[in-house]
């Protein structure tokens, strides 16, 4: 599969890392586009504050990035519809700007077969979350991969609702700080979000609340979601309190083991882990089984970790394969 990356930020670079360090060779990155200087993009791939130095030589050359044995053409187009992408199977749209149809379909106008957006977008034909609503993919050419938090929560709810029956649920996401927050106090979209990200826990909203009910409309009237941004640079968590329709007939841990035994997008750990232990995990969610709590067999607390960059990028590549497999 021939892939073009539009937007070489956190997700664009993490996707490239996964492709070039994977043992499989089913994907070829045939181009990168970003309006930042080429030398800066190469430097940020070579040295990463979260994942460490890239394990192969990275060099910027004229209009290309050389990574080990791979030389990848680099462009700086503000509008990729001006490029020739007629040999591209999929554009990974990672700019964060594909919020209108005009922007979202630029990859198609350039000649690419499909576009996969690395975040929420009302301009997409459909939003698909693996483990939750992949049956909705159909023949859509412009697909949103939702958000990292939606990828963590939606499979959890769908599978447990099928196995257990969820009457209602409240979920708190404990999310690392991101580039949308200031490093020092500065005006922002809300008072709390205007505070310095690395020194305080910041109660805030999450777009996952709307996305979850879009992906799983059956939860529209039985789910509430809150969020707290915390001063760590990577790995986030989901803290879910589920009220069940019927009491569990076996232990909650055993029930979780059975429920997620046949999916690759949700993992488990039996160890008393902390957030840094989950860095680089490819699953959408890793259930922390020792944190499971039950009240009267009908209220269950489920806790899970997710690497909001690495795990989400892994789902981008999984979704890309699923889209390409239609042909």
Query: pLDDT tens for residues 192-244?
Result: 999 999 999 999 988 888 899 999 999 999 999 999 999 999 999 999 999 99
Q: Assess whether 148 carries a catalytic annotation.
A: yes
- CB contact set of 14 (below 8 Å; sequence gap of 6+): 51, 309, 310, 313
pLDDT at 208: 86
Please name each of the domains of the chain with its CATH number.
2-118 (3.40.50.720), 148-308 (3.30.360.10)
Q: What are the tokens at 195?
A: 């505070």
Can you tell me the mean pLDDT for 156-178?
A: 97
> For position 209, what pLDDT does the model report?
84
> Which one, of 260, 250, 261, lies nearest residue 294 by Cα?
250
- d(C-alpha 191, C-alpha 185), whole Å: 10
Asked if 296 and 286 touch (Cβ cutoff 8 Å), the reply is no
Q: One of 41, 94, 148, 176 is an active-site residue; which one? A: 148
Examine the pLDDT at 265 and tell me if it is beyond 80. yes
Residue 206 confidence (pLDDT)? 87
- What pLDDT score does 78 carry? 96
Taking only Cα atoms into account, the Rg of the chain, rounded to an integer number of angstroms, comes to 20
Q: For residue range 271-314, list pLDDT tens digits in order.
A: 999 999 999 999 999 999 999 999 999 999 999 999 999 999 99
80 vs 68, residue with greater confidence? 80
Q: Mean pLDDT, to the nearest integer, of 77-98? A: 97
pLDDT in tens, 110-149: 999 999 999 999 999 999 999 999 999 999 999 999 999 9
- Asked whether 226 and 207 are in contact (CB, 8 A), the reply is no
The answer to whether the CB of 229 falls within 8 A of the CB of 181 is yes
Answer positive or negative: Cα dihedral of 221, 223, 229, 233: negative
Tens of pLDDT along 22-35?
Answer: 877 789 999 999 99
Residue 24 pLDDT? 74
Q: Which of 248, 234, 237 is nearest to 198 (CA)?
A: 234
CB atoms within 10 A of CB 188: 15
SS3 (DSSP) at 34: coil
């Amino acid at each position: 599969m021939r892939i073009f990356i539009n937007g070489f930020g956190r997700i664009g670079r993490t996707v490239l890392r996964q492709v070039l360090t994977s043992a499989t060779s089913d994907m070829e990155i045939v181009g990168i586009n970003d309006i930042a200087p080429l030398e800066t993009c190469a430097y940020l791939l070579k040295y990463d504050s979260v994942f460490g130095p890239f394990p192969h030589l990275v060099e910027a050359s004229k209009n290309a990035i050389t990574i080990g044995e791979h030389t990848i053409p680099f462009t700086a187009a503000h509008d990729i519809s001006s490029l020739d992408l007629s040999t591209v199977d999929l554009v990974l749209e990672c700019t964060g700007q594909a919020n209108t149809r005009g922007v979202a379909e630029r990859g198609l106008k350039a000649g690419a077969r499909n576009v996969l957006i690395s975040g929420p977008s009302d301009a997409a034909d459909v939003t698909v979350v693996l483990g939750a609503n992949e049956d909705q993919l159909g023949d859509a050419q412009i697909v949103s991969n939702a958000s990292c938090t939606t990828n963590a929560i939606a499979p959890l709810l769908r599978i447990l609702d099928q196995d257990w029956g969820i009457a209602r649920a409240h979920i708190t996401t404990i999310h690392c700080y991101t580039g949308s927050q200031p490093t020092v106090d500065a005006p922002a979209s809300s008072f709390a979000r205007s505070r310095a990200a690395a020194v305080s826990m910041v109660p805030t909203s999450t777009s996952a609340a709307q996305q979850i009910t879009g992906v799983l409309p059956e939860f529209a009237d039985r789910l509430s979601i809150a969020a707290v941004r915390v001063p760590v640079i990577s790995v986030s968590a989901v803290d879910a309190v589920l009220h069940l329709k019927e009491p569990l007939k076996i232990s909650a841990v055993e029930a979780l083991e059975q429920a997620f035994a046949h999916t690759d997008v949700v993992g488990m750990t039996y160890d008393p882990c902390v957030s840094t232990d989950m860095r680089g995990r490819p699953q959408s969610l890793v259930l922390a089984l020792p944190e499971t709590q039950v009240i009267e067999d009908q209220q269950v607390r489920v806790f899970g970790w997710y690497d909001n960059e690495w795990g989400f990028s892994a789902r981008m590549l999984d979704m890309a394969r699923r889209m390409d497999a239609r042909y």
